[in-house]
Structure 1
Amino acid sequence: MKEEIQQEAPPAKEQAGAFEFGIYTLGDISSDPLTGQTLSARDRMKEIVAAAKLADEAGIDVFGVGEHHRLDFAVTSPPVVLAAIAQATKKIRLTSATTVLGTSDPVRVFEDFSTLDLLSDGRAEIIAGRGAYVESFPLFGYELADYKELFYEKINLLLKLNDSDRMTWNGRFRTALQNAEIAPRPLQPGLPVWVGVGGTPQSAELAGKLGVGMALAILGGDPAHFKPLVDVYREAGIRAGHHKEDLKVAITSHGYIAESTQQAKDEYYPYYASYVAQFMGGNARGEKLARGQFEQLANPVNALAVGSPDLIIEKILAQHELFGHSRFMAQFDIGGIPFSKVAASIELLATKVAPVVRRELSKPS
């Protein structure tokens, strides 16, 4: 890292339109692999609110909460959890990460997040996605065969609800609306909506056509492999008549920050390996993620955001060269990792990483 990149930057609040930093959680309930302890759902919720409060006080821009409908995750209702967070925070924006829109009623989603917007004085956002898990389809009476069609119809309806306080609409998967009152209305002129994208060009193209932000999950590998998705997104948006500056990209990644890269890798590895085994399919042969595999995932070229503040700065700036994104969001709290370590990562992201990235990106090109 060059010496000038280690100098102090002006506070983020002084930089209009600055690059945004976020924290998100899926609220997994996992045993700590080192102690064997497992938090209750109640205690996990309390940790999530505490993390959001800390992020707000540290100057992080966005806090996200995911949605799952299974016993090894604490959060099934992001707007309820975010409403609690709204009362404990002052400035941080509050988003789902993501709302599983295919198995939700867009009217109910809009009303819930509009309520959150009012309670938070205009801080609500929605990241809508198809979802990485499918347990909500049978739970709420939807057919998995309709996976794509459900999302397409519902994302279009959700966006229309931003436009008017009365709605007449007809579709395939919910009852028709006839001059229906959509209440309450958000405090913001419209709820910001992003589409969460994993790895499919079709999802990226849809986000572009709709003219909404794209939250791109890059959980491993070389970020350059995801560049075509960003290109598809922006090209589709411009073809659909949307302004380039409105086609915002957020990058979301797993991560962990410590004073040194070696410390970060040593501390994070057992929790990451546990999380991979429990939630990401583990090794194809059922084996635990080897330390050598983890080292490869965390190397300076690849996307896993694990390392010292300097290394994380380098990774974000390198990704910005590829994507021109305006937001980076990290998931720190996975695999039963203690809250104290999550808190330390949040502090380092806010105080060591964010100011330098913002300053570097504000320099004339």
Structure 2
Amino acid sequence: MARTLEFGLDTFGDVTTNPDGTLKTDAETIRDIVTQAELADAVGIDAFGLGEHHRHEFAVSSPEIVLAAIAARTRRIRVGTAVTVLSSDDPVRVYERFATLDAVSAGRAEVTLGPGSFTESFPLFGYDLKDYEALFEEKLDLFGELLREEPVSWEGRTRAALTDADVFPKTEGGIRTWVGVGGSPDSVVRTARHGFGLMLAIIGGSPAQFRPFVDLFHRAAPAHGFDRLPVGVHSPGHVADTDEQAWNELYPPLAANRDAIGAERGWPPYSRLQFQRDVGPSGAIYAGSPETVARKIADTVHRLDLDRFDLKFAHGTLAHGELMRSIELYGTRVVPRVRELLAEEAAGAGVG
């Protein structure tokens, strides 16, 4: 544990509810997100990430604009995405937007790139889903070239070629880049080939099952000329004062959200029994009291040898006040307790 372990918070900008149960507007939700990020900064969280979506449940379709507002109202927290759908965007524009965000945030910008687990952006921006893999592969390659911040000559089949193209603005220290991966070995190796950080999206099953992907990533990095590259986990969760309170607050909006999306994808209805498995010691949801969540995160960090843990803290219509309390507890009690548990574990290992 000599490396610096970072803790982040992620949100997709779920549209939440007013105290009377009515839905907030997208605009109100976005303003609430800025307030949530301010609190995350105040309680010492290392990073705040926004997902890009183009559907009615989520208010954030242009993360960089919201992140710029957050950067102007925070002091130290990293501002990034979870994820940017590179496949349906243009790598040059993505680089330019994040280089600009890096300037206004004084070097705090980072980007997590992904092909997108939601596909609404593809027809919206004129892309064919049959090119899903090719689009991400080629655009990730071009983005890697652009990060060198030198004139680029590049040719592929998914966008126009570039010849000695220079892009601006230049950054003061580069753009920290991750790739969001759901568990495909090919995606893991591809991430290592580019020298980017690996962000594992673990939203189901046991986190321990992802250890082979971490090992594969660490084997692949030196083969492509890189030393140890960072590994992070993005997983859902919610913190409240007690386990029962956290579970009772989280289950209804989480189940409604999953069932709505599941109806489109052919998933079975989400049950309370499945939820209790997911919040249990071997599940992928980190929900409960600060002690419960801290112990579960510490176990995952240890098992996967992580450099970063990001808690996806917003779920469906879970109210802004409950989200704010979760952020406060995560920063003031969960994160310090995780560090304490890992330090105790390291000291015990040293004695042994």
When normalised by structure 1's length, the TM-score is 0.90
Q: Confirm or deny that 1:95 pairs with 2:80.
A: yes
Give the whole-Å Cα distance in 1 for the aligned partners of 2:39 and 2:262.
Answer: 28
- Matched with 1:242 is 226
Of 196, 208, 216, which aligns to 2:180?
Answer: 196
Q: Residue 280 and residue 318 in structure 1: after superposition, are their counterparts in 2 closer, same or farther (change >3 A)?
A: farther
Q: Secondary structure at the match of 1:215?
A: strand
- Matched with 1:55 is 40
Q: Residue 17 of structure 2 contacts residue 320 of structure 2 at CA under 8 Å; is this kept in 1? A: no
Q: Confirm or deny that 1:154 pairs with 2:139.
A: yes
Give the whole-Å Cα distance in 2 for the aligned partners of 1:236 and 1:16.
Answer: 22
Given residue 107 of structure 2, which amino acid in structure 1 is its aligned partner?
G
Q: Residue 285 and residue 349 in structure 1: after superposition, are their counterparts in 2 closer, same or farther (change >3 A)?
A: closer
Deviation at residue 282 of structure 1 after TM alignment = 8.4
Give the whole-Å Cα distance in 2 for the aligned partners of 1:214 and 1:315.
Answer: 21
Q: Residue 16 of structure 2 contacts residue 319 of structure 2 at CA under 8 Å; is this kept in 1? A: no
Of 292, 299, 302, which aligns to 1:318?
Answer: 299
Of 193, 202, 205, which aligns to 1:209?
Answer: 193
1:162-201 mapped onto 2 (5 Å cutoff):
162-188=147-173, 190-201=174-185
Given residue 338 of structure 2, which amino acid in structure 1 is its aligned partner?
V
Q: Residue 16 and residue 90 in structure 1: after superposition, are their counterparts in 2 closer, same or farther (change >3 A)?
A: farther
Give the whole-Å Cα distance in 2 for the aligned partners of 1:303 and 1:177.
Answer: 43
Give the whole-Å Cα distance in 1 for the aligned partners of 2:179 and 2:86.
Answer: 10
Q: Confirm or deny that 1:40 pairs with 2:21.
A: no
- Matched with 1:137 is 122
Q: Residue 3 of structure 2 contacts residue 307 of structure 2 at CA under 8 Å; is this kept in 1? A: no
- Matched with 2:63 is 78
Map Cα deviations across residues 3-53 of structure 1 (whole Å, 9 max, x no partner).
xxxxxxxxxxxx995311111111122568x95411101001011101101
Deviation at residue 285 of structure 1 after TM alignment = 7.0
How many aligned residue pairs are there?
Answer: 346
Unaligned stretches of 5+ residues in structure 1? 1-14
Give the whole-Å Cα distance in 2 for the aligned partners of 1:238 and 1:253.
Answer: 27
Q: Confirm or deny that 1:356 pairs with 2:337.
A: yes
Given residue 49 of structure 2, which amino acid in structure 1 is its aligned partner?
G
1:9-24 mapped onto 2 (5 Å cutoff):
18-24=4-10
Q: Residue 132 and residue 281 in structure 1: after superposition, are their counterparts in 2 closer, same or farther (change >3 A)?
A: farther
Of 345, 356, 361, which aligns to 2:326?
Answer: 345
Q: Confirm or deny that 1:253 pairs with 2:235.
A: yes
Of 77, 92, 106, which aligns to 1:121?
Answer: 106
Q: Confirm or deny that 1:227 pairs with 2:205.
A: no
Deviation at residue 358 of structure 1 after TM alignment = 2.0
Give the whole-Å Cα distance in 2 for the aligned partners of 1:341 and 1:103.
Answer: 34
Q: Secondary structure at the match of 2:37?
A: helix
1:273-288 mapped onto 2 (5 Å cutoff):
273-281=255-263, 287=269
Give the whole-Å Cα distance in 2 for the aligned partners of 1:317 and 1:146.
Answer: 39
Q: Residue 127 of structure 1 contacts residue 194 of structure 1 at CA under 8 Å; is this kept in 2? A: yes
- Matched with 1:335 is 316
When normalised by structure 2's length, the TM-score is 0.93
Q: Secondary structure at the match of 1:259?
A: coil
**Percent identity over paired residues:** 41
Give the whole-Å Cα distance in 1 for the aligned partners of 2:262 and 2:296.
Answer: 23
Map Cα deviations across residues 169-219 of structure 1 (whole Å, 9 max, x no partner).
22222212222221001222x111100001212111211222210111111
Give the whole-Å Cα distance in 1 for the aligned partners of 2:41 and 2:262.
Answer: 29
Greater shift, 95-104 or 262-271, is seen at 262-271
Q: Confirm or deny that 1:265 pairs with 2:250.
A: no
Q: Residue 83 of structure 2 contacts residue 111 of structure 2 at CA under 8 Å; is this kept in 1? A: yes
Regions of 4+ moved over 4 Å: 280-286
Once superposed, what is the RMSD of the aligned Cα atoms?
2.0
Map Cα deviations across residues 129-155 of structure 1 (whole Å, 9 max, x no partner).
010111111111111111111111111
